[in-house]
Amino acid sequence: MRAALTIAARSLRQRVRDRSAILFAIVIPLGLAAAFSMLIPRGSTFHAEYVVHDGDGGPVAATLVDHVLGALVETGVADVTQVESETAAMIALDAGETSAAILIPAGFSDAIATGTATEVRIIGIPDSPLGIQIVKSVVGGFASEVGAIQLAVVTAADWRPGGSPPALDEGTVAAVRDVTDPIVVTDATMERRQATTASFYAAAMAIMFLFFATIYGPVGILAERRSGTLARLLAAPIRPASIVLGASLASFVLGLVSMTVLVIATTLLLGAEWGPPALVAPLVLSAVIAAMGISMLVCTLARTEDQASGWNAMVAISLAILGGAMIPLSQAPELLQQVGLLTPHAWFLRAVDSMAGASVQLADIVPSLLALLAFGVVAGSIGLARSRTYLVAA
Protein backbone atom coordinates (compact mmCIF):
# COMPACT_ATOMS: atom_id res chain seq x y z
CA MET A 1 0.00 0.00 0.00
CA ARG A 2 2.91 2.30 0.79
CA ALA A 3 4.27 1.87 -2.72
CA ALA A 4 0.85 2.66 -4.18
CA LEU A 5 0.66 5.82 -2.09
CA THR A 6 4.14 6.82 -3.22
CA ILE A 7 3.16 6.32 -6.85
CA ALA A 8 -0.13 8.16 -6.38
CA ALA A 9 1.59 11.10 -4.69
CA ARG A 10 4.08 11.36 -7.53
CA SER A 11 1.35 11.16 -10.13
CA LEU A 12 -0.67 13.87 -8.42
CA ARG A 13 2.37 16.10 -8.19
CA GLN A 14 2.83 15.73 -11.92
CA ARG A 15 -0.83 16.43 -12.59
CA VAL A 16 -0.77 19.59 -10.50
CA ARG A 17 2.11 20.78 -12.65
CA ASP A 18 0.31 19.66 -15.75
CA ARG A 19 -2.27 22.38 -16.16
CA SER A 20 -4.37 20.36 -18.57
CA ALA A 21 -5.72 18.37 -15.62
CA ILE A 22 -6.98 21.52 -13.93
CA LEU A 23 -8.30 22.77 -17.25
CA PHE A 24 -10.28 19.66 -18.11
CA ALA A 25 -11.37 18.76 -14.60
CA ILE A 26 -12.42 22.15 -13.32
CA VAL A 27 -12.12 25.17 -15.59
CA ILE A 28 -13.90 23.87 -18.71
CA PRO A 29 -16.84 22.19 -16.97
CA LEU A 30 -17.34 25.23 -14.76
CA GLY A 31 -17.27 27.52 -17.78
CA LEU A 32 -19.66 25.37 -19.78
CA ALA A 33 -22.06 25.04 -16.88
CA ALA A 34 -22.07 28.82 -16.52
CA ALA A 35 -22.61 29.30 -20.25
CA PHE A 36 -25.48 26.82 -20.43
CA SER A 37 -27.11 28.31 -17.37
CA MET A 38 -27.00 31.77 -18.89
CA LEU A 39 -28.11 30.71 -22.36
CA ILE A 40 -30.96 28.49 -21.26
CA PRO A 41 -33.70 29.95 -19.04
CA ARG A 42 -33.63 28.57 -15.55
CA GLY A 43 -36.40 26.19 -14.61
CA SER A 44 -37.91 28.46 -12.00
CA THR A 45 -38.61 31.06 -14.66
CA PHE A 46 -40.18 28.66 -17.17
CA HIS A 47 -43.58 29.85 -18.16
CA ALA A 48 -46.04 28.70 -20.75
CA GLU A 49 -49.06 30.33 -22.33
CA TYR A 50 -52.05 28.14 -23.14
CA VAL A 51 -55.43 28.90 -24.68
CA VAL A 52 -58.39 26.70 -24.03
CA HIS A 53 -61.71 26.52 -25.82
CA ASP A 54 -64.44 24.89 -23.79
CA GLY A 55 -66.94 23.83 -26.44
CA ASP A 56 -68.81 21.77 -23.90
CA GLY A 57 -69.58 23.97 -20.95
CA GLY A 58 -70.45 20.96 -18.83
CA PRO A 59 -69.28 20.16 -15.32
CA VAL A 60 -66.43 17.82 -16.27
CA ALA A 61 -65.05 20.32 -18.81
CA ALA A 62 -65.29 23.00 -16.14
CA THR A 63 -63.32 20.82 -13.76
CA LEU A 64 -60.63 20.33 -16.38
CA VAL A 65 -60.40 24.04 -17.07
CA ASP A 66 -60.81 25.44 -13.58
CA HIS A 67 -59.06 22.89 -11.44
CA VAL A 68 -56.65 20.91 -13.59
CA LEU A 69 -55.39 23.66 -15.87
CA GLY A 70 -56.06 26.14 -13.10
CA ALA A 71 -53.48 24.38 -10.95
CA LEU A 72 -50.85 25.26 -13.54
CA VAL A 73 -51.85 28.88 -13.18
CA GLU A 74 -51.74 28.70 -9.41
CA THR A 75 -48.24 27.24 -9.38
CA GLY A 76 -47.02 29.92 -11.78
CA VAL A 77 -46.11 27.44 -14.47
CA ALA A 78 -48.55 28.73 -17.08
CA ASP A 79 -51.19 31.25 -17.94
CA VAL A 80 -54.40 29.78 -19.34
CA THR A 81 -56.68 31.95 -21.44
CA GLN A 82 -60.17 30.86 -22.44
CA VAL A 83 -61.18 31.71 -26.01
CA GLU A 84 -64.60 31.71 -27.61
CA SER A 85 -63.92 29.43 -30.54
CA GLU A 86 -61.50 26.96 -31.99
CA THR A 87 -60.74 29.53 -34.66
CA ALA A 88 -59.64 32.01 -32.05
CA ALA A 89 -57.41 29.33 -30.55
CA MET A 90 -55.82 28.61 -33.93
CA ILE A 91 -55.21 32.31 -34.53
CA ALA A 92 -53.42 32.54 -31.20
CA LEU A 93 -51.32 29.56 -32.19
CA ASP A 94 -50.48 31.00 -35.59
CA ALA A 95 -49.45 34.25 -33.95
CA GLY A 96 -47.14 32.38 -31.61
CA GLU A 97 -48.95 33.75 -28.62
CA THR A 98 -49.44 30.37 -27.02
CA SER A 99 -47.54 27.14 -26.60
CA ALA A 100 -50.59 24.98 -27.09
CA ALA A 101 -54.33 25.15 -27.57
CA ILE A 102 -56.57 22.78 -25.63
CA LEU A 103 -59.82 22.15 -27.43
CA ILE A 104 -62.69 20.57 -25.47
CA PRO A 105 -65.41 19.32 -27.80
CA ALA A 106 -69.14 19.85 -27.33
CA GLY A 107 -70.74 16.94 -25.47
CA PHE A 108 -67.57 16.17 -23.57
CA SER A 109 -69.23 15.91 -20.14
CA ASP A 110 -72.11 13.83 -21.46
CA ALA A 111 -69.73 11.51 -23.24
CA ILE A 112 -67.88 10.85 -20.01
CA ALA A 113 -71.13 10.37 -18.16
CA THR A 114 -72.30 7.79 -20.67
CA GLY A 115 -68.93 6.10 -21.14
CA THR A 116 -68.75 7.18 -24.75
CA ALA A 117 -65.41 7.82 -26.39
CA THR A 118 -64.40 11.43 -26.56
CA GLU A 119 -61.22 13.35 -26.92
CA VAL A 120 -59.54 16.54 -25.92
CA ARG A 121 -57.36 17.86 -28.69
CA ILE A 122 -54.09 19.52 -27.86
CA ILE A 123 -52.51 21.48 -30.66
CA GLY A 124 -49.07 22.84 -30.06
CA ILE A 125 -46.38 24.76 -31.86
CA PRO A 126 -43.11 22.99 -32.68
CA ASP A 127 -41.04 25.64 -30.94
CA SER A 128 -42.36 24.66 -27.54
CA PRO A 129 -41.97 20.90 -27.08
CA LEU A 130 -41.72 21.22 -23.33
CA GLY A 131 -44.86 23.31 -23.12
CA ILE A 132 -46.74 20.72 -25.17
CA GLN A 133 -45.38 17.87 -23.09
CA ILE A 134 -46.50 19.50 -19.87
CA VAL A 135 -50.06 20.11 -20.91
CA LYS A 136 -50.27 16.70 -22.52
CA SER A 137 -49.22 14.95 -19.33
CA VAL A 138 -51.55 17.07 -17.21
CA VAL A 139 -54.60 16.47 -19.37
CA GLY A 140 -53.65 12.84 -19.86
CA GLY A 141 -53.46 12.35 -16.11
CA PHE A 142 -56.86 13.93 -15.71
CA ALA A 143 -58.33 11.70 -18.38
CA SER A 144 -57.12 8.53 -16.74
CA GLU A 145 -58.46 9.63 -13.37
CA VAL A 146 -61.83 10.52 -14.84
CA GLY A 147 -62.03 7.01 -16.26
CA ALA A 148 -61.59 5.60 -12.77
CA ILE A 149 -64.23 7.84 -11.33
CA GLN A 150 -66.63 6.95 -14.12
CA LEU A 151 -66.17 3.29 -13.36
CA ALA A 152 -66.88 3.97 -9.73
CA VAL A 153 -70.07 5.87 -10.54
CA VAL A 154 -71.26 3.17 -12.83
CA THR A 155 -70.59 0.51 -10.23
CA ALA A 156 -72.41 2.48 -7.56
CA ALA A 157 -75.54 2.84 -9.69
CA ASP A 158 -75.39 -0.83 -10.61
CA TRP A 159 -75.56 0.23 -14.19
CA ARG A 160 -75.63 -2.40 -16.91
CA PRO A 161 -75.01 -1.98 -20.60
CA GLY A 162 -78.22 -1.03 -22.34
CA GLY A 163 -79.57 0.78 -19.30
CA SER A 164 -79.96 4.52 -18.89
CA PRO A 165 -76.71 6.44 -18.43
CA PRO A 166 -76.15 7.52 -14.86
CA ALA A 167 -76.30 11.18 -14.19
CA LEU A 168 -73.11 12.95 -13.26
CA ASP A 169 -74.19 14.58 -10.07
CA GLU A 170 -72.41 17.17 -7.95
CA GLY A 171 -70.88 14.46 -5.77
CA THR A 172 -69.15 12.89 -8.75
CA VAL A 173 -67.80 16.24 -9.91
CA ALA A 174 -66.44 16.88 -6.42
CA ALA A 175 -64.77 13.47 -6.44
CA VAL A 176 -63.12 14.28 -9.78
CA ARG A 177 -61.85 17.53 -8.36
CA ASP A 178 -60.48 15.89 -5.23
CA VAL A 179 -58.55 13.29 -7.17
CA THR A 180 -57.27 15.35 -10.05
CA ASP A 181 -55.88 18.28 -8.14
CA PRO A 182 -53.04 16.38 -6.46
CA ILE A 183 -52.27 14.57 -9.73
CA VAL A 184 -51.66 17.81 -11.51
CA VAL A 185 -49.27 19.01 -8.86
CA THR A 186 -47.28 15.84 -8.40
CA ASP A 187 -47.14 14.50 -11.95
CA ALA A 188 -46.33 17.66 -13.79
CA THR A 189 -42.81 17.52 -12.34
CA MET A 190 -42.26 21.06 -13.43
CA GLU A 191 -40.08 21.91 -10.48
CA ARG A 192 -37.82 18.91 -10.87
CA ARG A 193 -37.21 19.39 -14.57
CA GLN A 194 -36.78 23.05 -14.98
CA ALA A 195 -36.61 24.82 -11.69
CA THR A 196 -32.93 23.84 -11.38
CA THR A 197 -31.49 24.36 -14.80
CA ALA A 198 -28.32 25.70 -13.22
CA SER A 199 -28.15 22.57 -11.09
CA PHE A 200 -28.77 20.37 -14.09
CA TYR A 201 -26.03 21.82 -16.24
CA ALA A 202 -23.63 22.02 -13.32
CA ALA A 203 -24.20 18.34 -12.68
CA ALA A 204 -24.17 17.45 -16.37
CA MET A 205 -20.86 19.16 -17.02
CA ALA A 206 -19.39 17.79 -13.80
CA ILE A 207 -20.19 14.18 -14.67
CA MET A 208 -19.14 14.59 -18.29
CA PHE A 209 -15.76 16.09 -17.48
CA LEU A 210 -15.23 13.78 -14.53
CA PHE A 211 -14.12 11.23 -17.12
CA PHE A 212 -11.41 13.62 -18.26
CA ALA A 213 -10.14 13.82 -14.69
CA THR A 214 -10.15 10.11 -13.91
CA ILE A 215 -8.33 9.22 -17.11
CA TYR A 216 -5.12 10.80 -15.89
CA GLY A 217 -4.26 7.93 -13.57
CA PRO A 218 -4.51 4.94 -15.90
CA VAL A 219 -3.30 6.87 -18.94
CA GLY A 220 -0.25 7.74 -16.86
CA ILE A 221 0.72 4.07 -16.92
CA LEU A 222 0.69 4.13 -20.72
CA ALA A 223 2.85 7.24 -20.59
CA GLU A 224 5.24 5.43 -18.26
CA ARG A 225 5.38 2.55 -20.70
CA ARG A 226 6.32 4.93 -23.49
CA SER A 227 8.92 6.79 -21.49
CA GLY A 228 10.50 3.67 -20.03
CA THR A 229 9.78 4.46 -16.39
CA LEU A 230 7.29 1.58 -16.24
CA ALA A 231 10.19 -0.83 -16.69
CA ARG A 232 11.88 0.80 -13.75
CA LEU A 233 8.74 0.50 -11.65
CA LEU A 234 8.37 -3.15 -12.57
CA ALA A 235 11.99 -3.77 -11.62
CA ALA A 236 11.46 -2.21 -8.19
CA PRO A 237 10.66 -4.41 -5.21
CA ILE A 238 6.95 -3.69 -5.32
CA ARG A 239 4.00 -5.70 -6.49
CA PRO A 240 2.83 -4.86 -10.02
CA ALA A 241 -0.65 -4.35 -8.62
CA SER A 242 0.74 -1.43 -6.62
CA ILE A 243 1.34 0.42 -9.87
CA VAL A 244 -2.30 0.04 -10.90
CA LEU A 245 -3.49 0.86 -7.41
CA GLY A 246 -1.32 3.97 -7.30
CA ALA A 247 -2.70 5.14 -10.62
CA SER A 248 -6.24 4.44 -9.44
CA LEU A 249 -5.70 6.38 -6.24
CA ALA A 250 -4.46 9.32 -8.25
CA SER A 251 -7.56 9.09 -10.44
CA PHE A 252 -9.78 8.90 -7.40
CA VAL A 253 -8.27 11.99 -5.82
CA LEU A 254 -8.39 13.95 -9.07
CA GLY A 255 -12.00 12.96 -9.68
CA LEU A 256 -13.02 13.75 -6.14
CA VAL A 257 -11.30 17.12 -6.14
CA SER A 258 -12.80 17.95 -9.53
CA MET A 259 -16.33 17.11 -8.43
CA THR A 260 -16.00 18.79 -5.05
CA VAL A 261 -14.67 22.00 -6.54
CA LEU A 262 -17.42 22.00 -9.17
CA VAL A 263 -20.16 21.36 -6.61
CA ILE A 264 -18.95 24.22 -4.44
CA ALA A 265 -18.18 26.59 -7.32
CA THR A 266 -21.46 26.06 -9.15
CA THR A 267 -23.36 26.47 -5.91
CA LEU A 268 -21.66 29.73 -5.07
CA LEU A 269 -21.25 31.17 -8.56
CA LEU A 270 -24.20 29.81 -10.52
CA GLY A 271 -26.75 29.25 -7.81
CA ALA A 272 -26.93 25.54 -8.46
CA GLU A 273 -28.87 23.53 -5.92
CA TRP A 274 -27.23 20.16 -5.53
CA GLY A 275 -29.19 19.02 -2.53
CA PRO A 276 -28.26 18.01 0.99
CA PRO A 277 -24.48 17.55 1.41
CA ALA A 278 -25.08 14.25 3.18
CA LEU A 279 -26.59 12.92 -0.05
CA VAL A 280 -24.35 14.76 -2.48
CA ALA A 281 -21.27 13.19 -0.90
CA PRO A 282 -22.15 9.53 -1.57
CA LEU A 283 -23.45 10.47 -5.00
CA VAL A 284 -20.17 12.17 -5.90
CA LEU A 285 -18.18 9.23 -4.53
CA SER A 286 -20.22 6.75 -6.54
CA ALA A 287 -19.84 8.82 -9.70
CA VAL A 288 -16.08 9.01 -9.25
CA ILE A 289 -15.90 5.23 -8.82
CA ALA A 290 -17.98 4.72 -11.96
CA ALA A 291 -15.77 7.06 -13.98
CA MET A 292 -12.61 5.46 -12.57
CA GLY A 293 -13.75 2.01 -13.61
CA ILE A 294 -14.69 3.04 -17.13
CA SER A 295 -11.48 5.05 -17.60
CA MET A 296 -9.44 2.08 -16.41
CA LEU A 297 -11.18 -0.22 -18.86
CA VAL A 298 -10.66 2.20 -21.76
CA CYS A 299 -6.97 2.54 -20.96
CA THR A 300 -6.37 -1.18 -20.77
CA LEU A 301 -7.87 -1.55 -24.24
CA ALA A 302 -5.58 1.10 -25.72
CA ARG A 303 -1.97 0.71 -26.72
CA THR A 304 -0.80 4.28 -26.42
CA GLU A 305 -1.68 7.22 -24.26
CA ASP A 306 -2.91 9.20 -27.28
CA GLN A 307 -5.17 6.34 -28.24
CA ALA A 308 -6.46 6.05 -24.68
CA SER A 309 -7.13 9.77 -24.39
CA GLY A 310 -8.94 9.79 -27.74
CA TRP A 311 -11.07 6.80 -26.90
CA ASN A 312 -11.83 8.16 -23.46
CA ALA A 313 -13.02 11.44 -24.96
CA MET A 314 -15.26 9.55 -27.36
CA VAL A 315 -16.67 7.41 -24.57
CA ALA A 316 -17.16 10.39 -22.24
CA ILE A 317 -18.98 12.46 -24.83
CA SER A 318 -21.04 9.56 -26.18
CA LEU A 319 -22.15 8.56 -22.71
CA ALA A 320 -22.89 12.19 -21.92
CA ILE A 321 -25.14 12.52 -24.94
CA LEU A 322 -26.91 9.22 -24.34
CA GLY A 323 -27.14 9.90 -20.63
CA GLY A 324 -28.84 13.25 -21.06
CA ALA A 325 -25.98 15.49 -20.04
CA MET A 326 -26.41 17.61 -23.16
CA ILE A 327 -30.16 17.57 -23.52
CA PRO A 328 -32.36 16.38 -20.65
CA LEU A 329 -33.62 12.85 -21.18
CA SER A 330 -37.08 14.05 -20.21
CA GLN A 331 -37.24 15.74 -23.59
CA ALA A 332 -36.08 12.64 -25.45
CA PRO A 333 -38.23 9.86 -26.92
CA GLU A 334 -39.09 6.99 -24.60
CA LEU A 335 -36.65 4.61 -26.27
CA LEU A 336 -33.74 6.99 -25.76
CA GLN A 337 -34.75 7.47 -22.17
CA GLN A 338 -34.44 3.73 -21.67
CA VAL A 339 -31.12 3.58 -23.52
CA GLY A 340 -29.88 6.43 -21.37
CA LEU A 341 -30.12 4.23 -18.31
CA LEU A 342 -27.19 2.29 -19.68
CA THR A 343 -24.99 5.24 -18.85
CA PRO A 344 -23.76 6.44 -15.46
CA HIS A 345 -24.63 9.97 -16.52
CA ALA A 346 -28.36 9.26 -16.58
CA TRP A 347 -28.29 7.75 -13.10
CA PHE A 348 -26.22 10.60 -11.75
CA LEU A 349 -28.52 13.25 -13.22
CA ARG A 350 -31.56 11.36 -12.06
CA ALA A 351 -30.22 11.51 -8.52
CA VAL A 352 -29.48 15.22 -8.87
CA ASP A 353 -33.07 15.73 -10.03
CA SER A 354 -34.32 13.76 -7.07
CA MET A 355 -32.27 15.82 -4.66
CA ALA A 356 -33.86 19.03 -5.92
CA GLY A 357 -37.10 17.94 -4.31
CA ALA A 358 -38.14 19.40 -1.00
CA SER A 359 -38.05 16.30 1.17
CA VAL A 360 -35.45 14.10 -0.44
CA GLN A 361 -34.12 11.12 1.46
CA LEU A 362 -31.27 8.68 0.93
CA ALA A 363 -33.71 6.09 -0.34
CA ASP A 364 -34.55 8.39 -3.25
CA ILE A 365 -31.04 8.19 -4.64
CA VAL A 366 -30.12 4.64 -3.64
CA PRO A 367 -30.94 3.22 -7.11
CA SER A 368 -28.60 5.78 -8.65
CA LEU A 369 -25.87 5.01 -6.13
CA LEU A 370 -26.13 1.29 -6.79
CA ALA A 371 -26.16 1.77 -10.54
CA LEU A 372 -23.10 4.02 -10.45
CA LEU A 373 -21.20 1.61 -8.21
CA ALA A 374 -22.14 -1.24 -10.51
CA PHE A 375 -20.71 0.64 -13.50
CA GLY A 376 -17.48 1.25 -11.61
CA VAL A 377 -17.10 -2.27 -10.25
CA VAL A 378 -17.90 -4.07 -13.49
CA ALA A 379 -15.78 -1.88 -15.76
CA GLY A 380 -12.97 -1.63 -13.23
CA SER A 381 -12.90 -5.39 -12.71
CA ILE A 382 -12.57 -6.02 -16.42
CA GLY A 383 -9.83 -3.40 -16.55
CA LEU A 384 -7.94 -4.99 -13.67
CA ALA A 385 -8.29 -8.41 -15.25
CA ARG A 386 -6.60 -6.97 -18.32
CA SER A 387 -3.82 -5.34 -16.33
CA ARG A 388 -1.44 -8.26 -16.96
CA THR A 389 -1.20 -7.24 -20.58
CA TYR A 390 -1.44 -3.59 -19.62
CA LEU A 391 1.55 -3.69 -17.28
CA VAL A 392 4.13 -4.68 -19.82
CA ALA A 393 7.25 -2.62 -20.24
CA ALA A 394 7.79 -1.36 -23.76
Partner 1 sequence: MTAVAQHPTQDVDLEAVPPSPRTQDADAPPAPTPADRLVLRCSGLTKRFGERIAVDNVGFEIRAGETYGLLGPNGAGKTTTISMICGLLTRNGGEVLVEGRPIDPGATAAKAAIGYVPQDLAIYPDLTASENLAFFGGLYGLRGRPLGARVAELLEIIGLTDRAGDRTEQFSGGMKRRLNIAIGLLHRPRLLVLDEPTVGVDPQSRNAILASVQALGREGMAILYTTHYMEEAERLCDRVGIIDEGTIRAEGTRRELVGMVGHRDRVSLAANGDLASAAAAARRLAGVHEATAREGGIDLLVTNARQLLPQLLLDISTDGVSIRSVEVIEPDLEAVFLHLTGKALRD
Contacting residues toward partner 1, per CB under 8 A: 3, 6-7, 10, 13-14, 17-18, 227-229, 231-240, 392-393
The H or E element containing residue 80 is strand 78-82
Q: Distance of alpha carbon 57 from its chain centroid, rounded?
A: 40
- Shorter beta-carbon distance to partner 1: residue 131 or 217: 217
Q: Which residues of 115-145 are buried (b: 16+ CB within 10 A; e: fewer)?
A: beebebebebbeebebbbbbbebbbebbbeb
Minimum distance of partner 1 from residue 18's CB (angstroms):
7
Shortest gap between Cβ of 1 and partner 1 (angstroms)? 13
Nearer to partner 1, 107 or 240 (CB): 240
Measured CA to CA in angstroms, residue 40 lies from 34, 35, 197, 201 at distances of: 10, 8, 8, 10
Angle between helices 277-301 and 216-227 (to 10 degrees): 30
Phi, psi for 101 (deg, rounded to 5): -115, 130
Looking at the Cβ atoms of 234 and 341, the one nearer to partner 1 is: 234
Closest distance to partner 1 from the beta carbon of 388 (Å): 9
State the Cα–Cα distance between residues 299 and 382, nearest whole angstrom: 11
**CB 235 to partner 1: min, Å:** 4
d(CA 143, CA 104): 12
The minimum distance between CB 384 and partner 1, in angstroms, equals: 15
Nearer to partner 1, 17 or 160 (CB): 17
Rounded distance between C-alpha atoms, residue 24 and residue 13, angstroms: 16
Q: To the nearest whole angstrom, how small is the minimum distance from the Cβ of residue 304 to partner 1?
A: 16
For partner 1, the closer of residues 90 and 238 by Cβ is 238
Which of the 8 DSSP states describes residue 272?
-
Least gap, CB of 229 to partner 1 (angstroms): 5
Q: Which is nearer to partner 1, 223 or 373 (CB)?
A: 223
Tell me if 205 sits within 8 A of 30, measured CB to CB: yes
**Could you give the dihedral angle defined by the CA atoms of residues 60, 64, 65 and 71, in that order, rounded to the nearest 10 degrees?**
140
Identity of the residue, 247 or 355, whose beta carbon is nearer to partner 1 in the bound complex: 247
